[in-house]
Chains A and B, each alone.
Chain A
Amino acid sequence: MSEQLSASITERLGATGTANALELRGVSKFFGALAAIEDISMTVRPGERRAVLGSNGAGKTTLFNCVTGDFPSSSGSIRFFGEDITAFPPHERIRRGLRRTYQISLLFTGLSVRDNVYLACTGVSRSRFSFLRPRRDDSLMASADNLVHVVHLDDARDTIVSELSYGQQRQLEIAMALAGAPRFILFDEPAAGLSPTERSELIEILLGLPGHMGFIIIEHDMDVALRVAQSVTMMHNGRVFKEGNPAEIEDDPEVQALYLGDGHG
């Protein structure tokens, strides 16, 4: 048992040292005849922050769903820190340190902010099956409080989620994705619908994440995307259209044509 455990730890540590955080090879997802994404290959290094851009329906959210296992991919392989997770159910991927937020907030609207985050913290801990109520000095509760603080929701800590503003709900989504010890996070349009002040607060939160915590952020707003990301993937019609550093992408005539033509940017 402990031998097995230490073996898996060294395996993972070894993997962390050498392997990529995320490695997609030829990933496709079909809805009936429609290819939402097709033959996507992508490599993200540990600690790397990447922006995914693309017009509506480009397949960005579908890409996230395939990586987290919300929908199984139709073909291709997905490696997470060297481990092949293609066939894993979502909760197994999450327990390995993958996290995500949803484009349309998926929260428990009848619970308080703190309880939502607490639920997220128990999900990736061993006490998820616990029949005992948490004590006052519960460590998960403490980490939940800490996360509430990280996303600036201290004042709304005991508020029922259905009473939060839209922006606050988006912040709560982020807090829930930070629960446990994330190694890599997928943010699905966290800035959409936020006011300019909330936007800069979001950027501050993202820039404040520890350096080893890589992420992919889907973002329509180039300004936000380019401020937090070191690399950019452009998607179009379910395929990777361009990949490069922010400057290259911004200056690329094809990208400009596509983006300006779509009325974005």
Chain B
Amino acid sequence: MIDPTQGGPAQGNPGQGRAAAGSPTDQRSWIERVPAGYWILGLILLIMPAVAGDFILYQIFGWSFILGIIALSLMFLAGYGGMVSLVQMTVAGLAGYMLAIFGVSAIDTISLGWPWYITIPLALIIAVAFGTLTGWLAVRTEGIYTIMITLAIASAFFYFTRQNYVIFNGFSGFNGVLPPNLFGVDWRAPAAFYYLTLFWAVLAYLVVLYISRAPFGLALQGVRDNPRRMAALGFNVTAHRVAAYSLAALLAAIGGILLTWQSAQISPGTAGIGPVIDILVIAVIGGLRHPIGPFIGAFVFVLLRTFALDALIAVGLSGERFQLLIGIGFLVIVFWSPDGLLGLWEKLKAARRKDPLLDRGGETPGGQR
């Protein structure tokens, strides 16, 4: 269920039937191809700070965008590459740690206090190197073994950071890790942080969408569906997969830096086993077929995480049941719609388009699946 390559026919279909619309050979200009829904959603997101309160902006949207970016890196690997990596949150955590260690934090015995224009690129480079190395190990395995090896690396990182006091400051980690006051803006002010995270979320989304139809992304989907054929076309399947891990690591690292700024701290728990699994849950709930899925998943996850507790207590249940609620949600989604909420939405759209009198199906985009 989780691995999109499982259960499908050996000769799959990159583009999933949406090929005609997003094909590299599509000749319409890009403006014409932007659906109306995007304009509306874009407008709503842009004017959000005018209507929403600080808590909504900072905690709900800011956090959703950040988790969305990290889950997007998993969607890229799993959806287009067929590789389920549990190491994405770890890459994000590593980027956060590097930021704290090389830059400024409250733990000035460890933090080197270098300026942001050195620490941010350095954090990204180290995180990408780590992600690439993980990929290099993981692409030699398939399916469940990929999950296991990446989970092993994620747990090793968690325990290592918790026990290492010399560099990672052990259990308590680093606090006071703040974004630079670039352009005189306090980037942790709710509206500023909202726009900061929105900007990176949109950019990450567009980059993934764009690459999915560029030769690299197309080939990645080819590798997912039919590695043998891809090799016979001259593609180095292993190199392609490792490169996908590198790109995914870059996305996760950006998310990790934003995540560290949001709470102004990084500690072992940030990339503990719980959060590592959360990213998988978010990506699967949202849907692995399209890069918008992880953001939908993250939004739902953050809403549940924030409000389910109060809601549960209000109806007289223990707040602890929140995890149970997410677990049940996960189960329902995986059971009813393996393509996540996104798949559910597409199903609804297809059903609505069906003419009840003629009982004729509309031109569903997934018609050729």
Chain A residues packing against B (C-beta within 8 Å): 68-70, 89-91, 94-95, 100, 102, 106-112, 114-115, 118-120, 122-124, 127-134, 136, 141, 158, 160, 162-163, 176, 179-180
Contact = CB atoms under 8 A, between A and B. Distances in A.
A106 B226 contact: yes
Contacts of B211: 131
29 contacts: A68-B232, A89-B231, A91-B234, A91-B235, A94-B231, A95-B234, A100-B232, A106-B229, A106-B232, A107-B11, A110-B15, A110-B19, A111-B13, A111-B15, A112-B25, A118-B25, A119-B222, A119-B233, A122-B215, A122-B218, A122-B219, A123-B233, A123-B235, A124-B234, A128-B219, A128-B234, A129-B216, A133-B214, A176-B233
Contacts of B225: 108, 110
A204 B230 CA distance: 28
Given A107-B11, A110-B368, 6 more contacts: A68-B232, A110-B16, A123-B235, A131-B211, A131-B214, A136-B27
A111 to B, nearest CB: 5
A132 B213 CA distance: 9
Nearest to B18: A110
B234 A109 contact: no
A136 B219 CA distance: 19
A121 to B, nearest CB: 9
B17 to A, nearest CB: 6
B232 A90 contact: yes
Contacts of B236: 89, 91
Given A70-B232, A141-B25, A158-B25, A115 B17 contact: no
B16, B27, B215, B243, most chain A CB atoms within 10 A? B215
Contacts of B27: 136
A68 B231 CA distance: 10
A162 B12 CA distance: 10
Contacts of A90: 231-232
Interface in B190-243: 210-211, 213-216, 218-219, 222, 225-226, 228-237, 240, 243
A108 B12 CA distance: 6
Measured as residues with beta carbon below 8 angstroms from the partner, the interface class of chain B is 35 or more
B327 interface: no
A160 B219 CA distance: 17
B96 interface: no
A89 B239 CA distance: 12
A114 B24 CA distance: 10
Interface of B: 11-17, 19-20, 23-25, 27, 210-211, 213-216, 218-219, 222, 225-226, 228-237, 240, 243, 368-369
A118 to B, nearest CB: 7
Contact of A94 (B17, B214, B233, B240): B233
A10 to B, nearest CB: 23
A186 to B, nearest CB: 10
Contacts of A102: 229, 232
B216 A123 contact: no
Contacts of A109: 11-13
A70 to B, nearest CB: 6
CB-based closest 3 A-B pairs: A110-B13, A123-B233, A123-B234
A5 B236 CA distance: 20
A180 B17 CA distance: 27
A250 to B, nearest CB: 32
B20 A108 contact: no
Contacts of A129: 215-216, 240, 243
A12 B102 CA distance: 51
Contacts of B235: 91, 123, 128
B368 to A, nearest CB: 5
A102, A133, A162, most chain B CB atoms within 10 A? A133
A68, A91, A130, most chain B CB atoms within 10 A? A91
Given A118-B25, A123-B230, A106 B11 contact: yes
Nearest to A71: B228
A94 B219 contact: no
A51 B218 CA distance: 35
Contacts of A124: 233-234
B25 A114 contact: yes
A70, A108, A176, most chain B CB atoms within 10 A? A108
A102 B228 CA distance: 11
A180 B232 CA distance: 13
Contacts of A107: 11, 229
A114 B12 CA distance: 17
B214, B232, B235, B369, most chain A CB atoms within 10 A? B232
A110 B25 CA distance: 14
Contacts of B234: 91, 94-95, 123-124, 128, 180
A132 B215 CA distance: 7
Contact of B14 (A70, A110, A141): A110
B27, B218, B234, most chain A CB atoms within 10 A? B234
Contact of B213 (A123, A133, A160, A176): A133
B14 A91 contact: no
Contacts of B228: 70, 106
